[in-house]
Amino acid sequence: MTLEKFNLQFARVRGAARVFRADVNAIEWITACRQVNERGGRLVALWGSERAPGFAVHAALADADGLLVLILPVPQDRPSYPGIEGIFPVAGRMQRAAYDMLGIEAQGDDDRRPWLRHAAWPSDKFPLRDDFDRACIYEPGTDDYPFVSVAGDGVHEIPVGPVHAGTIEPGHFRFSIIGERVLRLEERLGYKHKGIEKRFAGMSLDEGARLAARVSGDSTVAYGWAYAMAAESACGAMPPPRAAWLRAVLLERERIANHLGDLGFIGNDAGLAFGLAQFSLLKEDMLRLNAELFGHRYLMDAIVPGGVARDIAQSGMERVRVEADQLTETVALLKNIYDEHPGLQDRFIACGRVTPELAARLGLVGLAGRASAQALDLREQFPVEPYDQLDVQMATHRNGDVAARVTVRFEEVFESLRLIRQILELIPLGQTRAALPATAAGAFALGIIEGWRGEVLVALETGANGAIARCHAHDPSWQNWPVIEHAVIDNIVPDFPLINKSFNLSYSGQDL
């Protein structure tokens, strides 16, 4: 694999069929990013790491060839590197986070405001550095975050959050409005400071699996599979075929359950409480069957390095088939109600629209991207077993509004139910878990899976003793949160909850 001009050579990442890496200098870093962008590629993730005697910044880029990982050394005495926000706008918050956590600065990035720090540790201390003192305390009075203000006659601000009703995680939204029309929305997230990336360091691969599954609890299967893929690559191992097929059942069940919940809440936000009641019943029944068959309502720890934690008996498979048939029939009835309800459609159509052009420029991914004509789904384009043996039908639309995002959810529910039936017909017999060989020292491995919200990436590095030295988990919400700031412009304030729920992004997944 090469890139033009510099003939940049990519080495295949251990155990991964279409993941490649290259150590680059600053000129190659920028040139490679530009060339990937010019041929229609995109930025998947950007993160930093400490590498004696300095640091490194990593960029995972996706194009038609696969996933390309650039690794740029960053000197300790001058911890900066060429920023790529001008090439990939989505890089901005990732670069700010890399500075907050590691102290490496993106040159040319005009927005230097802290993204994750919130003055929760001193401004000259960086949590992902080896010498970070965990006893560092909050700096009172130093967190006066400079939100961008909008001036003009009749313009005023509405602050919302970070504390919200119910169990939702914290996030602050600053609206600039005139009348009820939104002129600007600015988000601020990252209030939890969970310390997940620091906690990974020193763990064994098995210990790390439990932590990875808890990065974002509504995507535990996606994170569990991406982590297991990385861990297995680091060991040069493969899960048994039956385990791979069971992983797909779990992933599709996670997708269906989240879509059912969202369809109910979207209907409720548009004034149809009936929708919330009906979809909540369907989701609850599904979660209860998850607990019976797989040991946890949200399938926590069902995927482990080397395979899956438990098998499913023939009787359990039959219950899943019956459930799939019933859901197909019931969801079809509910879709007809949603489609034919004039009040819902009045709220859905043209609300929170993201044009295909804007979606492409900002790097919108996942179901929200597919609703704006971004035909990106790893299950179809870069399939792992068993998706390489299934015919995944991607749901895409062009309107990019709430109505399109609702339609994509309905179509993906039907497709996931179809895939589950197909998987249960074709699933091979055999073991469900294989013992992992000894972890390679100094290994670098990646796992990436199409979760229900979009691409979930896990990058894993091991130390000299085979334990985890660095693990970066990337949620697709990093790409999609900035797009909501654009989607809400020129809509009215009461439509924000509806627009926000139509994306339903993770606060937790980008608060590491």
Per-residue pLDDT averaged across 304-330, rounded?
A: 97
What pLDDT, in 10s, does the model give residues 399-440?
999 999 999 999 999 999 999 999 999 999 999 999 999 887
pLDDT, residue 313, reads 96
pLDDT, residue 275, reads 97
Q: Which of 188-197, 223-232, 297-306, 428-437 is predicted with the least confidence, judged by mean pLDDT?
A: 188-197
What pLDDT, in 10s, does the model give residues 467-492?
999 999 999 999 999 999 999 999 99
pLDDT, residue 414, reads 98
pLDDT, residue 6, reads 43
CA distance 102 to 100: 6
What pLDDT, in 10s, does the model give residues 239-249?
999 999 999 99
Residues of the chain with pLDDT > 90: what percent?
82
- Of 373, 404, 387, nearest in space to 229 by CA: 387
Show the DSSP H helices in 15-64 as ranges. 26-38
DSSP string computed for 144-173: ---PPP--STTEEEEEE-SS-STTPPP-EE
Per-residue pLDDT averaged across 125-149, rounded?
A: 83
Nearest 5°: the CA angle 431, 435, 436 is 135
What pLDDT, in 10s, does the model give residues 19-32?
899 999 999 999 99
Per-residue pLDDT averaged across 363-382, rounded?
A: 96
Q: What average pLDDT is seen over the chain?
A: 93
Q: Hunting for tokens 């907050």 — which residue is that?
A: 100
CA distance 69 to 24: 10
Between the CA of residue 196 and those of 26, 203, 207, 434, what are the distances in Å?
A: 29, 12, 13, 27
pLDDT, residue 15, reads 52
CA distance 96 to 183: 25
Cβ atoms of residues 457 and 61 within 8 Å = no
Calculate Rg over the CA atoms of the chain.
22
Q: pTM higher than 0.75, yes or no? A: yes
Res. 157: pLDDT tops 60: yes
pLDDT, residue 4, reads 46
Q: So where are the chain's domains? A: 1-146, 197-237+437-474
Res. 139: pLDDT tops 80: no
pLDDT, residue 1, reads 46
Per-residue pLDDT averaged across 447-470, rounded?
A: 95
Per-residue pLDDT averaged across 339-347, rounded?
A: 97
Residues 6 or more apart in contact with residue 307 via CB below 8 angstroms: 239, 240, 243, 431, 432, 433, 434
- Of 479, 425, 418, 488, nearest in space to 453 by CA: 479
pLDDT, residue 470, reads 95
CATH among 2.40.160.20, 3.40.190.10, 3.30.460.80, 3.20.20.140 for 1-146: 3.30.460.80
